Amino acid sequence: MFLLRSDRCCLGFDCARGNRDGYCASR
C-alpha cells in the first residue's frame, strides 16, 4: 500500500533513497 498524496510522509530508507516527492511507501 503506498499513498502518493502525503506531503511529508516518507520512510527512513525511502527518504535516503532520494524520494523528495514525499510519498509514504508501506512495504
> Burial, 24: exposed, middle or buried (Cβ in 10 Å; 0-12, 13-18, 19+)?
middle
CA angle 17, 21, 23 (to 5 degrees): 80
C-alpha cell at 1: 500500500
Instruction: Say what the pLDDT of residue 27 is.
Output: 47
Tens of pLDDT along 1-27?
455 554 455 555 555 555 555 555 554
| CA-derived radius of gyration, the chain | 8
Going from N- to C-terminal start, the domains of the chain cover 1-27
Nearest residue to 3 via CA among 18, 19, 16: 19
pTM for the full predicted model: 0.15
